[in-house]
Structure 1
Amino acid sequence: MLDTKTRDVIKATIPVLETHGEQITKRFYEMLFDAHPELLNIFNHSNQREGRQQTALANAVYAAAVHIDNLESILPAVKQISHKHRGLGIQPEHYPIVGQFLLRAIKDVLGDAATDEIIQAWADAYGAIASAFIGVEQEMYEEAGQQPGGWTDFRPFVVSRKVRESDVITSFYLTPKDGEAISSYRPGQYLTLKVSVPGQAYTQMRQYSLSDTPGKPYYRISVKREDARENAPAGLVSNYLHNDVQEGDTLLASAPSGDFMLVIDTERPVVFLSGGVGMTPLMSMVSTLLQRRPKHHVTYVHAALHGGVHAFKSTLEGLADEYENTSYYAVYERPSHEDKAYRHFAKEGFVDADWLRSIAPLDAEFYFCGPVSFMKAVYRILKGLGVDDAQIHYEFFGPQGSLA
C-alpha cells in the first residue's frame, strides 16, 4: 500500500508523463538493451523498431500514475499484459532489472526535474505494480502447467501440415513432438512461438492467433506473410515461416494465452468483423460458437483488399450454408471482375455505418480484429451507431493501443 505522500508525488508527475512519456520509454529500452542484450531474445524487434512497444509502455506508465489512488482499477490491463508476459516466459527476476532502468530513464530524460523525492516515489510505485504483475503471472503459469496437457515453458511441436489459405496467408498445423496430449484453449487465444532465424543473433518471439476450434490433437496458426512496404522492411519471422519452415520441421511454442475470448453463452446475436489476417482469432470463435450453439444468430463480415488475399472462403461459405441463422458478407476494397461475381460479395470499398446497420443487429455482441486503421474505423462506426462499450470486443496484434 502506497502512502498518501507517495501518491501525491506520483500524481504531480502526470503532466510530465503526458509530455515526455514516449521519450522516457524510448530511452529506457535503449539503456536496457545496452546493459542486457540477452533480453533481445524476448522482446519483439519489429515492435521496437516501429515504436509500438515504446508507446504501449508510455501509456501503461501514464495509466498507473492517473490511477495511483486506486491501482485495482488497472487490474484488467495488468491481466491483459500478463497474458503476453506468460506467453513470452517473463519471470519475476526480470522485474527488478526493468525497474532499475525505468528509473534511470526518468532521471536521464528529466534531469534535475527528477528529484530524489520523485525517483523514490516512482520506485515505490513500480514495486507495487511489479508485485501485482508477478502475482497474476504466477497464477497464470500454474494454470497453464496444471491443466490436462499443459506445460509452463516452451514445448517442441512438429509442423504436421502446411496449407496455403490465400496469396498471403498460410496455416501451420502443430502436433506435439512428444506425442502427448495438449491443453485446450478459449477461442480467440494465441500461441507464442520462439523462433531461431538463420543469421539472426537473437531468438524471435511472435504471437499468432489459434485459428481452429479447440479440442483437436493439434494447434493451427495462420500466418500472413508481411512483405516489405514503405517505411517497413519485410516481416522477418513471417517470411521465415512461409519460405523456410516445411512439414516435418520443429517449432517451439508456449501454452495458449490471451484475454480476447469468445463468450459462448451470450443470448445476444453475435457479429464478427475481420480485416485481413485479423480473421484468424475470429475463425476459431465463429466455428466454435456455431458448433456449440447451431441456432444462434451470427453475422460474419470480412474486409480485404481483394479476393486473392481472402483466406478461409470455403470455411465461411460452409458455415453460412449449414447454419440457417448465419450470414456471411465479403467487402473488398479493390475487387476484381471475378470478385464481384462471388456469391458472398456484398460491397466494394469499406465497411460503413449505413451498410452495417442494414445487415447486422445493433443489439449484438461485436467482435473485431484487423489492421489498426480498420479497427479504429469499426470502433468509430459502432460508437456512432450507439453500441455500448460492453458489447464491443477487440484484439490488437502486438502491443495494446487505443481506438479512441
Structure 2
Amino acid sequence: MITESQKDLVKATVPVLRESGVALTSYFYNRMLTNNPDLKETFNMGHQRSGAQAQALAGAVLAYAENIDDPSVLAPVIELIAHKHVSLNIQAPDYNIVGENLLHSISEVLKISMDDPLIEAWGVAYGQLADVFINAEKALYEQHQQTKGSWLGWRQFKIAKKDVESEEITSFYLAPVDGGDLPKYEAGQYISVRVFVEDLGLKQPRQYTLSNSPQSDYLRISVKREDEKGELAGGWVSSTLHSLPEGAEIEVSAPTGNFFLIDPNKRNVFISGGVGLTPMVAMLNQLITQDMPQPVTFIHACRSGLVHAMKKHIQAHQAKFPRLSTFTAYEFPQPSDVLGQDYDVAGRLDLASMDNALLPQDADYYLCGPMPFMAEQQKALIARGIPVENIHSEAFGTGGVKLS
C-alpha cells in the first residue's frame, strides 16, 4: 500500500513529467528494447520511430501522477489500454520487465540513486497500477476463454480474398487456417494482425477495426495503404499487408475493444472521416441484419470519391432501407464526383449547417477518424445541444494513436 508521503513524492514529479515526460519515456523504450530485443515484435516500431509510443506513455504516466490520490478517474483509460494489451497478448510477467526498466530510467534520467525514496515511491505506485492492469486483463482473457470460437494469443489466418475499395483502401478477408469457429464479436471492435516486415527483419503488430459485422467463416479488415514507413504509424504493417497475395498467412489476435454499438434499438448517427468509416460500416451492417429497427444517419467525410471506400455498399443499403439517411462531404471533389453527383457538400464537414433531421437530439452518436476531426465534430455536436454522454469516440490510445 502506498503511503501519503510516497504519494507526495510521486506528485512532486508532475512538473518534471510535464516538461520532460516524452524524453523520459523515449529513454525508457530505448533501454527496455535494447535489454529485451524480443519485445520488438510486441511493440510497433513505426510508433517507436515516430515518437507516438513515447508520447502516449508520457501522457499516461503524467495522468497517473496527477491522479495518484484517486486513480479511479482513470478507469476509462485503463479499460481502453487493457483491451489493447490483451490484443497484443501482454502477460503479467511483462509488467516486471516494464517496471524494472521504468524505475532505472527515472533513476538514470533524473541522475538519482536507485536507493532514493523517489524511486521507492514510484516502485510502489507502479506496482499498484500494474496490479490494476493485470486484473483487468485477466478478466478479458477469461472472457475470451469462455467465448465460443475465441482464442488467446496469436492464431494463424490466411488472406482468403483481397477487395480493392478505393485508391488507398483494400479489404482483407481473413479465414482461420485451422478451419475452426470464429467468435461473435461486437460491431466496432478490432483485431491485431502481425506480419513479418522484411525491412526490419521482425514480426510487427498493428490493430485494425473489423469492417463487417460477425460472419461465420471470415474476419474482414479494411486497410489504408501507408507507404511512409516509420514516420506514419502502421506504414510498415499496412504496406506489407498490401503486398501480400491471397493465400498468404498472417497472425491474428481475437476481436476485442470497448468501442461498439451500444443500443441497436435506439436512433444512431455515425460520423466518420477517411478510413475511420470502418467501424461505422460494421455497426451499420449489424443494424441491417436486424432490419434497421430505428432511423440511422451515416455521415462521412473524405478528400474525394477516389478515396471514398465502400461507397457503393452504403448506397445499396440506402436504396433498400428508407430509414437510412446519408450525408457525404468531399473536401476536394474531382470532376468525376461532380458529374456523378456522389456527394452532398464540397469542403470540410460542417455539422453546424446540417439539417436537424439528420442530427436528432435523442440519438447515440459515434465518431471515428483523425483526432482533430473527432474533436471538431464533438465540439459541434455539443454546440447543437447533444448530451456529451451520447457521444462515443473511437480513441486509438491515450495520445490519439494506437498503442501497439
TM-score by length of 2: 0.93
Aligned residue number for residue 361 of structure 1: 360
Instruction: Give, as a single letter, the amino acid of the residue that structure 2 aligns with 1:345.
Output: Y
Give the C-alpha shift of residue 52 in structure 1.
1.3
Query: Which whole-Å CA distance do the structure 1 matches of 2:112 and 2:148 have between them?
Result: 54
Match of 2:262 in 1: 263
Letter aligned with residue 309 of structure 2 = A
- Measured at CA, do residues 99 and 305 of structure 1 come closer, stay the same or move farther in structure 2, by a change above 3 Å? same
Q: Measure how far apart 1:122 and its partner are.
A: 0.6
Return the alpha-carbon distance in structure 1 between the equivalents of residues 388 and 265 of structure 2: 16
Q: What SS is found at the alignment partner of 2:270? A: strand
Partners of 1:329 and 1:344 within 8 A in 2: no
Q: How many Å separate the matches in 1 of 2:353 and 2:317?
A: 22
- 1:326 and 1:87, CA in 2 relative to 1: closer, same or farther beyond 3 A? same
Higher relative contact order (CA 8 A, sep 6+): 2
Quickly say closer, same or farther: Cα 1:213–1:385, change in 2 above 3 A.
same
Q: CA RMSD in A?
A: 2.2
Aligned to 1:255, the other structure's residue is in SS state coil
1:101 is aligned to 2:101: yes
**Structure 1 residue runs without a partner (length 5+):** none
What 5-or-longer segments of structure 2 have no aligned partner?
A: none
Q: How far does residue 3 in structure 1 lie from its aligned partner after superposition?
A: 2.4
1:5-404 alignment, distance < 5 Å: 5-112=5-112, 116-228=116-228, 235-243=235-243, 245-265=244-264, 267=266, 269-292=267-290, 294-356=292-354, 358=356, 359-397=358-396, 399-401=397-399
The superposition leaves residues 304-330 of structure 1 with CA deviations (integer Å, 9 ceiling, x where unpaired) of 111011011111112212222210121
CA offsets per residue over residues 333-379 of structure 1, 9 Å max, x none? Answer: 11012212445411101111322355422442111111223223222
SS in 2 for 1:217: coil
* TM-score for both structures, normalised by structure 1: 0.93
Deviation at 1:113, TM superposition (A): 10
CA distance in 2, matches of 1:318, 1:154: 36
Shift of 1:200: 2.5
Deviation at 1:155, TM superposition (A): 0.8
Call closer, same or farther: CA 1:114–1:395 in 2, change over 3 Å: farther
The percentage of counterpart residues that share the same residue type is: 38
Q: Within 1, Cα distance between the matches of 2:118 and 2:384?
A: 44
Report deviation, 1:158.
1.7
Distance 1:113 1:84, change over 3 A: same
Give SS of 2:255's match.
strand
In the alignment, the residues of structure 2 paired with residue 341 and residue 301 of structure 1 have an alpha-carbon distance, to the nearest angstrom, of 21
**Inter-partner Cα distance in structure 2 for 1:49 and 1:346:** 39
Shift of 1:199: 4.3
User: Residues 195 and 250 of structure 2 are in contact (CA less than 8 Å); yes or no, is this contact kept in structure 1?
Assistant: yes
Runs of 4+ in 1 over 4 A off after TM superposition: 112-115, 229-234
2-structure distance, mates of 1:88, 1:28:
20
C-alpha displacement of 1:2:
2.3
Asked whether the equivalents of residues 339 and 345 of structure 1 are also in contact (C-alpha less than 8 Å), the reply is yes
In 1, Cα distance between equivalents of 2:18 and 2:288:
45
Quickly say closer, same or farther: Cα 1:364–1:156, change in 2 above 3 A: same
Q: Are 1:149 and 1:180, in contact at CA under 8 Å, matched by a contact in 2? A: yes
| Counterparts of 2:114 and 2:190, CA distance in 1 | 40
